[in-house]
Amino acid sequence: MRFDDLAPAAADAVRGASGYLTDLLTPTLRIGVTGLSRAGKTVFITALVRALVAGGRLPFFSAQSQGRIDGAWLEPQPDDAVPRFDYEAHLAALGREPPQWPESTRSVSQLRVTIAYKPTRLLWRALGPSRLHVDIVDYPGEWLVDLALLERDFATWSDEAMAQAASPRRARAAAPFLAFLDRIAQAGTARDEQTAIAGARIFTEYLAAARAADNALATMTPGRFLMPGDLAGSPLLTFFPLPAKLREQGVAAGFPALLARRYESYKTHVVRPFFRDHFSKLDRQIVLVDALGALNAGAEAMTELQAALDAVLTAFRPGRGSWLDLLTGRRIDRLLFAATKADHLHHESHDRLEGVLRVLVERAMSRADDAGALVRVMAIAALRATREGSVRQKGGGELPVIIGVPLPGERIGDETFDGRREAAVFPGDLPEDARGLIEAGREHPRADEVRFVRFRPPRIVETAGERVVAPHIRLDRALEFLIGDRLA
Ligand code: GDP
């Protein structure tokens, strides 16, 4: 064999190896995107990825506005065991006529975007363009509450869950579950798998009913009972809390032990792997909060949201010896709290929305701050569905309004919308004193100042060669905070 024959293959090998090396040398930034159900995670990730990949005007995302980004593209997922975030399907929903909001997050998923950029430093620049892998990890905030289980055994968790079920606010939702426990106490027949399965189902229905009654904000454990992800129907989810009486007297030999074993398996096979494999690997985190939705539902919902966020955000608590500390090799160094759907308000109220969020996450902010993370609060709209206008009032003067197409079936006063007609909505003013609003809510269960309807999203169509960012509010600032420094 002559050398000439070898050369192309060898050249390929060298090229391949250098590609491999470039890839190994390319730094990775892992960004977690979380929030409670319907907070806006799917929309945020879709908009963010599109803004990176399609390019366009993003004045506050410095690498982009300085023209230093040479390109950004999706790459195959690095972790074969994690489902891919279905970016294309979500984008396709937004491209339909009429456009639809994409389907929400139900489980963990991930996407890798690689950015080629010119560094600002001349020395680095001389070496050619640099690359950064941005891995975006989407997961339900509901799963974070399970962190609390790691420190509780079955008896402690059961006692807490029973105390919650006994609270007057949950009375109606909990009634079938409590009746079920009474039945097994009287019959003394609870001994088998079937009872565990039936009990878990009724307990899950109770959690769902409690969440619905609490304006979809309550976060009770176990997180997977309401957001099972790929575990729906798994034996790992077949347990429920047993009151002390039933645990101690034993409804039937072995049954409390069966439930306790299932509970421990849930911790071992569900909770710990999630924190170890996903949460602990994040470098940065954005927590999305639908503060406006809660404001709209009334001040009581705000108090609920605050409690729910507190439960969720203890996961960001530092502290030596805590479970998280044991599981976490590295630390989140930037944490962004974002109030989503700011396009439901006139821009004059955006700062106030930020103020509301700041009050809601105060405790978690100071915890993260203590841990040395850079923390920021922002009001954003990943995808802006409205524009601003003003309406002349009868008595003179202008009223600031937002204009958009309310989704079919949305109502304001007596009017029901058909999903086609545009409407100008006066969204109301957010209170200047956010803390007062939440405090007052404890005594006056409704705050009717804000009006909120769901609007149709803007249609996103890809036009070859055109670099247009979909309308948004402060998405570029969020990008700058989350990625900007890594593209310097
Ligand atoms: P997830 O459950 O956290 O993934 O929530 P989604 O991203 O699916 O968002 C839930 C719903 O909130 C969407 O279907 C939209 O109706 C609304 N939404 C989310 N982001 C925005 C936004 O930027 N602007 C507006 N107007 N609505 C939004």
- Between 19 and 342, the more confident residue is 342
With the most atoms of ligand 1 within 8 angstroms of its CB, the residue from 101, 107, 410, 474 to mutate is 101
Per-residue pLDDT band for 9 (boundaries 50, 70, 90) equals: very low
Please tell me the predicted confidence (pLDDT) of residue 301: 72
Report whether pLDDT(4) > 50: no
User: Which residue ranges have their beta carbon within 6 Å of ligand 1?
Assistant: 35, 37-43, 101, 104-105, 340-341, 343-344, 381-383, 385, 454-455
Does 452 or 456 have the greater pLDDT score? 456
DSSP type of residue 104: P
Nearest-atom index, ligand 1, CA of 290:
12
pLDDT at 12: 47
What's the CA-to-centroid distance between 198 and ligand 1, angstroms? 34
Over the stretch 16-40, which tens digit does the pLDDT of each residue have?
Answer: 444 555 566 899 999 999 998 899 9
Buried b (16+ CB within 10 A) or exposed e, 294-311: bbbbbbbbbbbbbebbbb
Distance between CA atoms of 100 and 304, rounded to whole angstroms?
A: 29
Least confident of 155-169, 179-193, 253-267, 441-455: 441-455
What is the reported pLDDT for 303?
77
pLDDT score for 215: 55
pLDDT at 450: 56
Rg of the Cα trace of the chain? 25
Determine which helix (DSSP H) or strand (DSSP E) holds 287, and give its type and residue range: strand 284-289
| Alpha-carbon span 378 to 342, nearest angstrom | 10
Q: Closest residue (by CA) to atom 18 of ligand 1?
A: 40
Higher-scoring residue by pLDDT: 217, 378: 378
User: Best of 36, 42, 43, 469 to mutate for ligand 1, by most ligand atoms within 8 A of CB?
Assistant: 43
Taking CA atoms, 236 is separated from 12, 108, 120, 261, in Å, by: 49, 18, 51, 10
In this prediction, residue 217 has a pLDDT band, given cuts at 50, 70 and 90, of low
Rounded distance between C-alpha atoms, residue 122 and residue 437, angstroms: 51
Separation of alpha carbons 443 and 259, rounded Å: 40
d(Cα 30, Cα 332) in Å, to the nearest integer? 10
| pLDDT tens sequence across 316-335 | 765 444 555 555 555 788 99
Global pTM value:
0.88
Residue 448, pLDDT above cutoff 80: no
Mean predicted confidence (pLDDT) in 128-157: 91
Banded model confidence at residue 459, pLDDT cuts 50, 70, 90: very high
Report, as an integer, the average pLDDT of 352-370.
85
